[in-house]
């Protein structure tokens, strides 16, 4: 058995401006003495405490990836117009209004992906391994879910489009026609994974869809982690927040999911007591009803 090096990395995703589960996660991480911490994005959006969540992430030195929740506030809703409609736009405007200018500037500096080398293996961290800035419908959440329902076997199949010649041609064509399209401009200026294909990695770790799933073939793994405080399975307790710890070995690493109990009633009160628009959406996500 390979020896552990002592390096541990904590990763969570999709906090969605819910302060109470984030407090529980970060306190547990601190108790374990882990200082290398990543968020896979959607730190803000939908929930009632975006400003407080960002302050707490900064306090704990968390490196955050920009998810679509952040890009709604930074790029506007136009790149996501096929998905963001109606009352959700009011929620996005409310979220942006809660942020300080300094917080907006720091969000702008966050990257859309990170590369890690752990135990000699290459891990890509992202919000979702399709670039939601430019393709929120065709190869995103819903196609991923459909592929799973259709006996999804190949972890690369869903993500072969990312940084493919077809995608690059689409980006450049769109910018030529509509140079003000901030989603395509952002993807062109900072491509996901620095322009590398998904199969460059030994493992990709992503969030975005809120449920957990591990798929692999002989070459690589795609690990999807559960949203921090949203449970989507009969065996997943809703009163516990979720994150993972990567434990580095001399060669390779192990991954452990950690469940941490948090004050769910306080979280629900925080949602109900705010003037947050479209609060029924986040309430549905954190509901005990399956």
Sorting pLDDT into bands at 50, 70 and 90, what band is 140? low
pLDDT, one tens digit per residue, over 118-138 is 999 999 999 999 998 987 766
How many structural domains is the chain composed of?
1
Instruction: Say if residues 224 and 213 touch (Cβ distance below 8 Å).
Output: yes
pLDDT in the model for residue 266: 96
Which of 19-23, 56-60, 164-168 is predicted least confidently? 164-168
Mean pLDDT for the stretch of residues 59-80: 95
What percent of the chain has pLDDT above 70?
93
Domain carrying residue 232: 4-285
pLDDT in the model for residue 178: 86
- pLDDT over 80 at 240, yes or no: yes
Q: Is the pTM of this model over 0.85?
A: yes
Which of 31-40, 188-197, 218-227 is predicted least confidently? 218-227
- pLDDT over 90 at 142, yes or no: no
- Is position 250 within any domain? yes
pLDDT in the model for residue 290: 45
Distance CA 185, CA 166 (A): 16
Instruction: Say if residues 134 and 264 touch (Cβ distance below 8 Å).
Output: no
- pLDDT over 80 at 171, yes or no: yes
Burial class (CB in 10 A: 0-12, 13-18, 19+), 211: middle
* Nearby residues of 4 by Cβ (< 8 Å), 6 or more positions away: 247, 248, 249, 250
Return mean pLDDT, the chain. 92
CATH number assigned to the domain comprising residue 116: 3.60.21.10
Instruction: Say if residues 230 and 223 touch (Cβ distance below 8 Å).
Output: no
Distance CA 161, CA 192 (A): 12
CA 229 to chain centre: 13
Mean pLDDT for the stretch of residues 50-72: 98
- Is position 290 within any domain? no
């Amino acid at each position: 058995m390979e020896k552990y090096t002592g390096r541990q990395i904590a990763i969570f995703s999709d906090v969605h401006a819910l302060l109470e589960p984030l407090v529980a996660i970060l306190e547990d991480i601190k108790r374990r003495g882990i200082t290398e911490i990543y968020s896979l994005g959607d730190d803000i959006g939908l929930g009632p405490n975006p400003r407080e969540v960002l302050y707490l992430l900064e306090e704990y030195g968390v490196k955050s990836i920009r998810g679509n929740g952040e890009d709604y506030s930074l790029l506007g809703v136009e790149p996501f117009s096929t998905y963001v409609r109606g009352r959700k736009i009011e929620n996005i405007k409310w979220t942006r209004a809660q942020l300080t200018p300094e917080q907006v500037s720091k969000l702008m500096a966050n990257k859309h992906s990170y590369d890690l080398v752990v135990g000699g293996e290459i891990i890509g961290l992202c919000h979702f391994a399709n670039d939601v800035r430019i393709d929120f419908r065709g190869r995103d959440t819903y196609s991923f879910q459909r592929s799973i329902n259709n006996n999804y076997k190949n972890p690369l199949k869903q993500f072969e489009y990312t940084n493919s010649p077809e995608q690059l041609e689409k980006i450049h064509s769109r910018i030529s026609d509509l140079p003000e399209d901030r989603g395509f401009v952002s993807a062109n200026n900072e491509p996901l994974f620095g322009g590398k294909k998904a199969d460059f990695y030994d493992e990709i770790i992503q969030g975005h869809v809120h449920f957990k799933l591990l798929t692999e073939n002989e070459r690589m793994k795609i690990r999807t982690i559960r949203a921090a405080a949203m449970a989507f399975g009969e065996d997943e307790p809703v009163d516990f927040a979720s994150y993972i710890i990567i434990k580095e070995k001399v060669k390779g690493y192990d991954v452990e999911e950690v469940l941490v109990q948090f004050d769910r009633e306080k979280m629900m009160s925080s949602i109900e007591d705010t003037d947050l628009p479209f609060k029924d959406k986040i309430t549905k996500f954190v509901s005990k009803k399956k």
